[in-house]
Structure 1
Amino acid sequence: MKIIFPLLVVVTCVAGTIAVAGPQYGPGVTDAEIKLGQTVPYSGNGSPIGIPTAGATRALLQKVNQAGGINGRKINLLSLDDALSPPKTVEQTRRLVESDEVLAIVGSLGSAPNAATQKYLNGKKVPQLFIMSGSSRFLAPKEFPWTMPWPVSSERIGEAYGRYVRQVKPNAKVSIIYQNDEYGREGEKGIRKGLGAEADKLIIAERTYDLTDPTLDSQIVSLKASGADVLFHVSISKFAAQGLRKVNELEWEPIQFVDVPSASIAATFRPVGLDKAVGVISATYFKDPQDPRWKDDPAVAEYIATMKTFAPDIDPYDSNALFGYSVGESLVAVLRQCGDDLSRENLMRQATDLKQVPLSLLLPGITLNTTSEDYAPIKQLRLMRFNGTSWDPFGETMTIP
């Protein structure tokens, strides 16, 4: 799939004989457009995440383009399907960089796919900006100065969950099911960190799954047999749904946590049955558009209107859409900071100099903040519990340094 936004022509005038420094353009930039690239799973296991995430990003950019773009330049996003397959990601990324000559790769989804292109993009000094992965390997500015993630890292989220369990159930019998890759291992590492010195004692069973596994049934049966009373799902939506369904079938009643990427009512809970997900805990840094407390919030109202206008086939209440929309807003904020210096170097300079940048859908008090030494835009979150219809936030906003 390839999405191309229309262009807007802008004429720049220089008066008299006064010397005026002209705009600085990197590849993919003209007076009329800013060409960017992206790889997303529109097919395969990752498509329930990829389609709403990318669709919401496109919706936000279309709204901005309709209003005149960034300083008169419209954003031209080329979004290609990689099916969450690293070899395909490499192929599509090379096409975007070498054939389409994009300014940057933005908002690409998945830990393994982004890892497969990280060295290539850094070697070519192409920004790999606001990628959708919670792996801390993308928070290494000294080694990979051209790579910046967007979400709170899986390790930080896992640590928050572990802290909570340690506080409310100090004698818990913990079990973990996690994806057998960097994403899953990072989450498992964070849970251990949050549980603290007693982690080895508290964790009594762990199982992994591969993206090629047809089901998680055997792993969940094994975890129940361990006698655990807490279960962490460090899984993408498809497998989190499978795990939740099997837990219900077994009439097992542990305290359950799902990772932030799977905290989607549409993609995770509806396939299981909303009533069967009551009590599941996750975390957020977003306003919930379904929560009555935000029904009069102008930013939420604008988000819903934008999605209905530019992405009518995507559920605006899908948590993945919130991510995609926010990535689009983050990208627009950085491009605006760039002014007329739209070189790759300045794009990264501005991305690493975000100071309390607000986004429409972030919870009050949570903003984007980066430096040249700290590439994590968001470091705060809040726990929430599913009530059968929507999420109920609880506790204070947590900062995980």
Structure 2
Amino acid sequence: MQTWTRMLVAVVLALASLSAISERVRDEAVTDTEIRIGNLMPYSGSLQAFGAIGKAEAAYFDLLNERGGINGRKIRFISYDDKSDPVTALKLTSALVENDNVLLMFGSFGTPGNLAVRKYLNERQIPQLFVASGDDHLFDPSLFPWTMGWQPSFREEGRIYANYIQATYPNRRIVALWQNDQVGREIFKGLEDGLGDTARAIRADIAYDAADEHLDTHISILKQSGAEIFVFAGLPANAAKVIQDAAKLNWHPVFILDHMASSIATALKPAGPENSVGVITAAFLKDASDPAWNADAKNWQAFIDKYSRAGGKDDGAAVFGYAAAETLVQVLRQCGNDLSRENVMKQAATLKDYQNSALLPGVKISTGPFNFRPIRHMRLVQFDGQTWQSIGDVLETAFSNADH
């Protein structure tokens, strides 16, 4: 009798142990019906234009939930306004983790805020997935194994522009106007790296603050250099002003805009399509008016309807948010019923040639244990007055002359 009693106790303990394991695999942030996801966006402040990305992601998850969610679980997307302030970002991230009990942080915008919360999240082993920044410091799994970027590197983008200039406009004079922050500095540094020994072709460069009210003066100075190539790195609203100011001065250089400033809705249309014709940028996402969307018109149109009703107006932000959210959903689907934070990071690091529907043809997502840069390709495109047209092949990481 004692033997049977001991066996029964052992079975009960084993079942209790399995139940505990199951609960750990599920994680407290996941229930039978819900997965909680945290996010920070600049819905107000100097960078509020990019808050449209958060609205797009919310619209994508709403559409997904209406269609059943992920394995029967709905996404609860909890997105707060950090006003692009790192101190606020840390405070809100702490609230999302400790009060809202999110499974992970996803797609938060901006370099300073993501850097500010990185240590906090890594110490607690909470995924900081697909951050909306191309800063190289956010792509280092050896130091921060719970932080993963998404978009291409800002510095690599600058190198791509340098290689294009060298190949297409050799020995031409170059000027640059770049925003005095991590984005502007990294793109300009990449431009210098890519030009290598020919960086002396940069006749002048000006760093400006986002709220600078003297952009017209900067453009006048840059025009006087006699440069034929103009590289701009900054915000869409400032890009619109710069394009208009150059047109007023009857200055028509080869105009290169960084990807962040290339929104048709918030940069090129406000500048005037006639002034924006010929502008070049490096892209990795489809344009909202790209006929390539026709193959997925039903899903795209349903999403756009939701995004528009939520107050979204920026086509570029719509595509960015759609693509980033779709990538996260792919990871969560790969997780199956093991929705532990450890498995989320494991699945995020095992994406292999994943063809996101919003990416340009030839641009795929691949990750690995030592590769936390999911998107490493871009394609040069040129604005024709209505949409972007490809002017080159898909480009992998560009190298400076010093690398060869």
TM-score, reference length from structure 2 = 0.89
Report the counterpart of residue 210 of structure 1 in structure 2.
209
CA distance, structure 1, for counterparts of residue 34 and residue 170 of structure 2: 56
Q: Is the 8 A contact 1:338 1:346 kept in 2?
A: yes
Report the counterpart of residue 301 of structure 2 in structure 1.
304
SS of residue paired to 1:131 = coil
Q: What is the percentage of aligned positions where both structures have the same residue?
A: 38
The Cα shift of 1:312 comes to 3.2
Aligned equivalent of 1:389, options 386, 389, 392: 386
Q: Is the 8 A contact 1:290 1:317 kept in 2?
A: no
1:276 matches 2:275: yes
Report the counterpart of residue 42 of structure 1 in structure 2.
43
Report the counterpart of residue 250 of structure 1 in structure 2.
249
CA deviation vs aligned residue, 1:122-155 (integer Å, no higher than 9, x gap)? 2222211111111111111111111111111111
CA deviation vs aligned residue, 1:317-374 (integer Å, no higher than 9, x gap)? 7112111000100010001111112121111111111111121111223221000101
SS of residue paired to 1:45 = coil
1:190 matches 2:203: no
Report the counterpart of residue 3 of structure 1 in structure 2.
none
Aligned residue type for 1:153? S
CA distance, structure 2, for counterparts of residue 398 and residue 34 of structure 1: 36
Q: Is the 8 A contact 1:307 1:316 kept in 2?
A: no
Aligned residue type for 2:49? P
CA distance, structure 2, for counterparts of residue 84 and residue 76 of structure 1: 23
In structure 2, do the counterparts of structure 1 residues 392 and 316 end up closer, same or farther at CA, with 3 Å as the change threshold? farther
Report the counterpart of residue 10 of structure 2 in structure 1.
none
CA distance, structure 1, for counterparts of residue 314 and residue 387 of structure 2: 10
Matches within 5 A, 1:101-180: 101-180=101-180
Aligned residue type for 2:374? P
Q: Is the 8 A contact 1:264 1:319 kept in 2?
A: yes
Report the counterpart of residue 232 of structure 1 in structure 2.
231
CA distance, structure 1, for counterparts of residue 243 and residue 91 of structure 2: 35
The Cα shift of 1:400 comes to 1.3
1:332 matches 2:329: yes
In structure 2, do the counterparts of structure 1 residues 27 and 246 end up closer, same or farther at CA, with 3 Å as the change threshold? farther
Moved more, 212-221 or 84-93: 212-221
The Cα shift of 1:120 comes to 1.9
Q: Is the 8 A contact 1:172 1:230 kept in 2?
A: yes
Report the counterpart of residue 22 of structure 1 in structure 2.
22
Aligned residue type for 1:273? G
1:321 matches 2:286: no
The Cα shift of 1:310 comes to 4.9
SS of residue paired to 1:191 = helix
Aligned residue type for 1:275? E
Report the counterpart of residue 11 of structure 1 in structure 2.
none
Extract unaligned runs of 5+ from structure 1: 1-16
CA distance, structure 2, for counterparts of residue 217 and residue 101 of structure 1: 48
1:375 matches 2:375: no
Aligned-CA RMSD value = 2.0
Matches within 5 A, 1:31-70: 31-51=32-52, 53-70=53-70
Aligned residue type for 2:348? A
Q: Is the 8 A contact 1:55 1:311 kept in 2?
A: no
The Cα shift of 1:26 comes to 2.6
In structure 2, do the counterparts of structure 1 residues 206 and 346 end up closer, same or farther at CA, with 3 Å as the change threshold? same
Q: Is the 8 A contact 1:112 1:181 kept in 2?
A: no
The Cα shift of 1:212 comes to 3.7
SS of residue paired to 2:309 = coil
Q: Is the 8 A contact 2:244 2:271 kept in 1?
A: yes
CA distance, structure 1, for counterparts of residue 77 and residue 217 of structure 2: 42
The Cα shift of 1:193 comes to 2.3
Aligned residue type for 2:372? Y
The Cα shift of 1:269 comes to 1.2
SS of residue paired to 1:56 = helix
CA deviation vs aligned residue, 1:250-285 (integer Å, no higher than 9, x gap)? 221111111111211101112211111111101212
CA distance, structure 1, for counterparts of residue 266 and residue 125 of structure 2: 36
1:366 matches 2:367: no
The Cα shift of 1:314 comes to 5.2
In structure 2, do the counterparts of structure 1 residues 249 and 149 end up closer, same or farther at CA, with 3 Å as the change threshold? same
SS of residue paired to 1:221 = helix
Greater helix fraction, Structure 1 or Structure 2: 2
Moved more, 354-363 or 19-28: 19-28
CA distance, structure 2, for counterparts of residue 141 and residue 267 of structure 1: 34
Aligned length: 381
Aligned residue type for 2:281? S
List, as ranges, runs of 4+ consecutive aligned residues in structure 1 with deviation greater than 3 Å: 17-21, 309-317
The Cα shift of 1:299 comes to 2.1
Moved more, 214-223 or 34-43: 214-223
Report the counterpart of residue 9 of structure 1 in structure 2.
none
In structure 2, do the counterparts of structure 1 residues 271 and 289 end up closer, same or farther at CA, with 3 Å as the change threshold? closer
